[in-house]
Amino acid sequence: MNANTHATAADYSWLDEDLPGLTEAYCLTLVRGLAPEEVLRRIGAREELRITGVEELAAPAYDAWDEYDGERMFVGVTSVGDWALMMEYNGYLGVTDEVSVPLSRGTRLVSHFRNVNALDHFDWIEDGDIRVTFEPLFANQRHGSAPDSLPEEMRGAGFDLGDSGDRSYELHTEAAFALAERLTGVRLSTEVLSSATFLCGTAALPPRG
């Protein structure tokens, strides 16, 4: 699997304080070895502008949602080391199989999502193969071609994989960030996200059904 680190949910305890608008409704996607331009091309996005600072993505994202009634979504893509980082406020292209599976061709993709209703999702995809997919709130229920391949990494990141009714549901969003780091080696911080320049565009949501 490679690229594992020792990241834990505690390493991302700054999220709610530093980026509360992001954790309320976001989708974060990491793709190894692709330039931002290639990510936009693969998802069929139109290149529109460059924006510095992740929080500056929020207004155009919500504007796009209103303008296109949720049928097109605004994304920002930047490079972090050897990885492309695609950020969406109030979006979910990165966890939509019709988008993420083609985007992962020839490489590794890790994405996670949460919306205002606490609905959440995490995907690990290798070259079109959805290896593990689950809801961080219910991390003991996993699917994909290798659903039981990450228990040690998941527990280390901070997920409670127990089956009993007294499971802990705390810090599940932070644990998703930590697990993504364990799978990619990409450490995100307030400084990284606030200083990054994102190549931005809008992409269509694939037809339902």
What's the pLDDT tens digit per position in 36-83? Answer: 999 999 999 988 999 999 999 999 999 999 999 999 999 999 999 999
Neighbours of 203 (CB within 10 A): 22
Asked whether residue 90 carries a pLDDT value surpassing 90, the answer given is: yes
Q: What is the pLDDT of residue 46?
A: 84
pTM over 0.75? The answer is yes
Q: Which residues of 135-169 are buried (b: 16+ CB within 10 A; e: fewer)?
A: bbbebeebebeeeeebeebbebbbbbeeeeeeeee
What is the identity of the amino acid at 204? A
What's the pLDDT tens digit per position in 158-197? Answer: 999 987 666 667 799 999 999 999 999 999 999 999 999 9
Q: Which of 100, 97, 72, 98 has the alpha carbon at shortest distance from 86?
A: 100
Domain ranges of the chain: 9-204
Asked whether residue 209 carries a pLDDT value surpassing 60, the answer given is: no
Confidence class for position 92, pLDDT limits 50, 70, 90: very high
User: Residues 86, 94: contact at Cβ < 8 Å?
Assistant: yes
What's the pLDDT tens digit per position in 119-158? Answer: 999 999 999 999 999 999 999 999 999 999 999 999 999 9
User: Residues 202, 48: contact at Cβ < 8 Å?
Assistant: yes
Q: What is the pLDDT of residue 108?
A: 98
Q: What is the pLDDT of residue 5?
A: 81
- In sequence order, which residues have a C-beta less than 8 Å from that of residue 137 and are 6 or more positions away? 118, 120, 169, 172
Calculate the average pLDDT of the chain: 94
User: Residues 75, 45: contact at Cβ < 8 Å?
Assistant: yes
